[in-house]
Amino acid sequence: MLSSHSDVSGSEAACLPFDLFFMTPDPMRSWNLRRRSGFSLLELAVVLMIAGVVGGLSVGRLRGVITEHQVARAATALQNDLEGAFAIAGRNRRPVRITWDATKMQMLVTDRLGTTVYRRTGLGRGAYGLSASGVTVSPSKIEIYPNGLATDELLVTLSSNQTTKRVKMTRAGLVQIQ
């Protein structure tokens, strides 16, 4: 029988049971475990520096993607409102007026007198992030008759930070995003 752990030599340690071998106090192994309990300040600084560089590179692209998404959403909302105006005119059997209010940055679909508002789409900073200079509407007033024809074609140009979408409506009611 062994009297102490210090009497065990390297060849005898190989013959010891597994539990007894790992229970022997080894000063080198316990020193290594105590030394590597966390990350060094240098390792943390390198990781933070790499994360900062990657984050800085992706912020510019992320801003562009958000702008593209906002302009596309605004164009889709306008397309839906213009198509809806033709449906409202046909359903109510009365002319419908589409007007652009540049001061409020709103596209309105109303009855001919402007007393009943069927649809209102705000394109300003709050909803889609567009500025007054980023939205052009030509012409600013159009009427749609119950027979499905409009008085003129409509072209709405939406632009923000090098992203541009055009919403084109024909006299017959075809609305396309270009």
Task: Report pLDDT digits (tens) over 66-107.
Answer: 889 999 999 999 999 999 999 999 999 999 999 999 889 999
Kindly report the average pLDDT of the chain as a whole number: 83
* Segments making up each domain of the chain, as ranges: 44-177
Supply the CATH classification number for the domain 44-177. Answer: 3.55.40.10
- Confidence grade of residue 162 (pLDDT, cut at 50, 70, 90): confident
Percent of the chain past pLDDT 70, that is, above it, reads 79
Can you give the pLDDT at residue 82?
Answer: 94
**Residues 124, 130: Cα–Cα separation, whole Å:** 5
**Residues 103, 94: Cα–Cα separation, whole Å:** 27
Can you point out the beta strands (E) in the chain?
96-101, 106-111, 117-122, 135-138, 141-144, 154-160, 163-169, 175-177
Contact 143, 126 (CB under 8 A): no
Percent of the chain past pLDDT 90, that is, above it, reads 50
**Residues 132, 108: Cα–Cα separation, whole Å:** 16
| Better-predicted residue by pLDDT, 6 or 121 | 121
**Residues 123, 131: Cα–Cα separation, whole Å:** 8
pLDDT at residue 147 greater than cutoff 90: yes
- Confidence grade of residue 62 (pLDDT, cut at 50, 70, 90): confident
Q: What predicted TM-score, i.e. pTM, was given to this entire model?
A: 0.68
